[in-house]
Amino acid sequence: MLRILLLLIASFASASIWAQHELHLSVRGQDAVALNGEVYLPSLEKFVSLEKGEAKIEFGDEGVYPIVVYVEGYKSLSRKVKVKGLITKAQVELERLNINLREVTVRGGDSSNTGIQRLNAIDGVAIYAAKKNEVLVPADMAANKAVNNARQVFSKVPGLNIWESGDAGVQLDIGARGLSPSRTSNFNVRQNGYDISADALGYPESYYTPPTEAVERIEVVRGAAGLQYGTQFGGMLNFVMKGAPEKTGFELESRQTIGSFGLFNSFNSIGYRKEKTGVYGFYQHKQSNGWRPNSQVDQNTGYLQIEHDVNEKLSLRAEYTYMHYLSQLPGGLTDEEFERDPSQSKRERNWFRVKWNLASLSADYKISDKWRLNSRFFALMASREALGNLERINRIDNGEERTLIYGGFQNIGNETRVLRRYNFLGNPANLLIGTRLYAGFTESRQGEASNGSDHDFTYNNPDDLEGSDYDFPSRNAAVFAENIFRITDKLSITPGVRFEYINTRADGWYKESAYNSAGELVASQKVEEEKELNRAFVLGGLGVSQKLKNKTELYANFSQNYRAITFNDIRVDNPNFVIDPNITDERGFNFDLGYRGKPKSYLTFDIGLFYLAYNNRIGFLTIIDSTTYLEKRLRTNVGDSRSYGLESFVEVDWFDLFRSEPIKSQLRTFVNFSYLQAEYVSSEDNLVEGKEVELVPPMTLKTGITYQRNDFKVSYQFSYNDAQFTDAYNTQEPVPTAIAGEIPAYWVSDLSLGYKYKWLVAEAGVNNLFDNQYFTRRATGYPGPGVIPAKPRNFYFTLGVKF
């Protein structure tokens, strides 16, 4: 692999093209005095010093380029300059700084409103050079934002596999490259840069999803993203929330949505800024009756952000998020029931409740023009409770006592990063050093609850549970570093390293039960258990980026990955499967090779190849119960897998392509296509080796067309997912319990409209336009078990105001 990377570096270096055009920039203050400082060039990802108010900047091509000018004591200035001919002269004037404005961020100079952008090589106190990434901008999307419709919101991110399990978009379930979509657990999920999952080590599932209406942008960094954000295989998903207005005064936004099946969503936010202080907050209420019986949802979410500029160098920000939802779960179906009537419900006594409290405090400090520091403290107090009948879906619910599984989460952590700019061999370089300290505490309890139908989340015997009672403490310490070495103006190399220490413990007891051939309990005993695992290891990575002449880029990235087992999963008693107590951690690596850019104003693309090595992959095998002689699924290390394929995205503005003079309309088409192959290359089970990896649709396609004129927008989207297996044996015919079998190929269409007039916004749409009957998931536990039908055709209408 090292030899391949060296060859790539050599080939990229030979393709380097030297600048031929110069920009002579003059920077003055309001009193005409020459200013010393720095000029940042997003398109070249470099800084140029201002000496006596002058800077000479070389470009390889003529064109329009964004620049950001920084001078201490003056407001940062962001503008675009047109470079034409061998020498172009430009002068800018800066305004003295009365209050400390937040740092200006220019995202690749792309001011389009297509809903997707790219991260700069350096963004804030983070390095993204040569990493595969997408930045999604919800404000520019024609989508059903009220229900967080992931099929639409993430439509321009190639290679994603999305479970459509919820009726009102309460939870997000996305996976990539053959990784399970279950509650996005293979991604490091963050809000404004800090963790929001239940327990990053002990239970890395995300039950809270920020409302799309409150999100400014979504940063998706996939594959080789582990060195800065953890060890996970999937990458990082960061929801950047809206904030206080830039200018002094109030800002008010209110959006009210109604839709099919009793959907009502109310989103209301207010922002305020005065001098050095900004405040932003929102409240969201969502409710729905659901399209199936017994599927009601009631959710409330609140958020408060306060930021204060202490002085010109230091700014502080505090945040608090509260979320609570209660949902009734209609249960899964067998395949025969789904074909006959997907709207039916097999369970009326299953409920799910989540309470989420997030808090963070962050500090940004400009140590000097060359040193920047960011430190984030974050804490979580949360719980999730699942109540109901977990028995196989092909058995009738006779009204016995229900199972109640409680999970409580208390976490606290800090991440601190320092970014240093310096010169290396005459070119600017950037060094990022960071640390992470994290402590998680998960409490898990399982026992019997009432035999009623209501949402009574209390145990029948709280002092002597029938299932288990555990504490799962976890500790994590990490040190990481990345450095951008710019060999030329266009070629950069970014090595990285991460040292990780993980400690996970389990302390509690479970009841070991024996059943006869009729499935009746004949004996039970309490088993005390105490386990501890310590790991310390080093992960490495290397990225290469070559800027080309036509505003495009070749990039390659390699990074090692690691995923620790979770004790919490091991001790859940589920009649649909058992868990191997000797299950071990997963290891592997990601490799990306791609070509992306925006060579013309009408064309944007990102086409790449990837390779994912996944060792000790955890999945399900089939065993025979020694007592009942019935088949059971065993969750264990199935084997080593390899995934590889093509991920591509192309978008064209047809009016821009063919027009001879500027017009106010756009007609954009995008194509998001991926082709994946994944197989088990080794396994102790001979029936698994050589089989396809589960949850990998070989082909996915999302395409759409958007017409926009001024403030009117209409968009049509088509999505197709190939058939995929749900177990390592590649079981094609469904089993009676419906927890294994093929997920058939499906396609679905969405139509959305939007119009904005001054302060008034109106949006409407139809999801699943042609009312297709399909499903994306076979659940082994909640919200099933069994086939979980996707939502049929439904409508929504949103009316909003913004002052």
Per-residue model confidence as pLDDT tens digits over 218-276: 999 986 555 888 888 988 999 999 999 988 999 999 999 999 999 999 999 999 999 89
Closest CA to 47 of 379, 489, 400, 408: 489
Residue 84 CB: number of other CB atoms within 10 A? Answer: 12
Determine the 3-state secondary structure of 340 from DSSP.
Answer: helix
Measured CA angle at 747 (ends 795, 755), to 5 deg? 35
Q: Find out whether 520 and 467 touch, Cβ atoms under 8 Å.
A: no
Domain that holds residue 782: 239-802
pLDDT at 8: 47
In a domain, 166, yes or no: no
In a domain, 79, yes or no: yes
Out of 68, 98, 128, pick the residue that ends a domain: 98
Closest CA to 667 of 694, 704, 635: 704
Q: pTM of the entire structure?
A: 0.89
pLDDT under 50 in the chain at which residues? 1-2, 4-19, 99-111
Neighbouring-strand partners of residue 641? 614, 680
Neighbouring-strand partners of residue 137? none
Contacts of 398 (CB under 8 A, 6+ apart): none
CA–CA separation, 642 vs 494, rounded Å?
25
Contacts of 416 (CB under 8 A, 6+ apart): 373, 374, 375, 376, 434, 435
pLDDT at 519: 58
pLDDT at 625: 67
The DSSP 8-state label assigned to residue 229 in this structure reads H
Q: Find out whether 507 and 470 touch, Cβ atoms under 8 Å.
A: yes
In a domain, 126, yes or no: no
CA–CA separation, 593 vs 605, rounded Å?
14
In a domain, 732, yes or no: yes
Contacts of 168 (CB under 8 A, 6+ apart): 147, 263, 286, 287, 288, 290, 297, 299
Domain count, the chain: 2
CA–CA separation, 670 vs 681, rounded Å?
35
pLDDT at 69: 87
Closest CA to 544 of 150, 15, 186: 15
> What radius of gyration do the chain's Cα atoms show?
27
Task: For 36, list phi and psi in degrees, rounded to 5.
Answer: -105, 135
Q: Are residues 312 and 461 in the same domain?
A: yes
CA 735, 741, 745, 746 torsion-angle sign: positive
Q: Find out whether 761 and 799 touch, Cβ atoms under 8 Å.
A: yes
- Through-space distance between the first and last CA atoms of the chain, rounded to whole angstroms: 55
In a domain, 228, yes or no: no
Residue 375 CB: number of other CB atoms within 10 A? Answer: 17
Out of 57, 72, 98, pick the residue that ends a domain: 98
pLDDT at 550: 85
Cα–Cα distance list, 71 to 50, 53, 68 (Å)? 9, 10, 10
Closest CA to 4 of 593, 540, 588, 498: 593
pLDDT at 12: 44
Q: Report the CATH number that the domain containing residue 18 is assigned in CATH.
A: 2.60.40.10
Return the structure tokens found at 417: 């990063």
Residue 80 CB: number of other CB atoms within 10 A? Answer: 12
pLDDT at 109: 42
pLDDT at 170: 85
CA–CA separation, 722 vs 211, rounded Å?
29
In a domain, 519, yes or no: yes
The DSSP 8-state label assigned to residue 203 in this structure reads B
Pairing of strands 235-241, 187-191: parallel
In a domain, 783, yes or no: yes
Closest CA to 111 of 83, 77, 80, 88: 80
Cα–Cα distance list, 424 to 41, 45, 133, 139 (Å)? 18, 15, 26, 40
Task: For 9, list phi and psi in degrees, rounded to 5.
Answer: -60, -40
The residue with tokens 């919101």 is 153
Return the structure tokens found at 454: 């209501």
Q: Find out whether 153 and 141 touch, Cβ atoms under 8 Å.
A: yes
CA–CA separation, 801 vs 762, rounded Å?
9
Residue 744 CB: number of other CB atoms within 10 A? Answer: 12
Return the structure tokens found at 554: 């070749």
Return the structure tokens found at 349: 């006594």
Q: Report the CATH number that the domain containing residue 250 is assigned in CATH.
A: 2.40.170.20
pLDDT at 590: 93
In a domain, 49, yes or no: yes
CA–CA separation, 419 vs 120, rounded Å?
15
pLDDT at 19: 43
Count of positions (residues) in the chain:
803
Out of 98, 121, 152, pick the residue that ends a domain: 98
The residue with tokens 């608090």 is 320
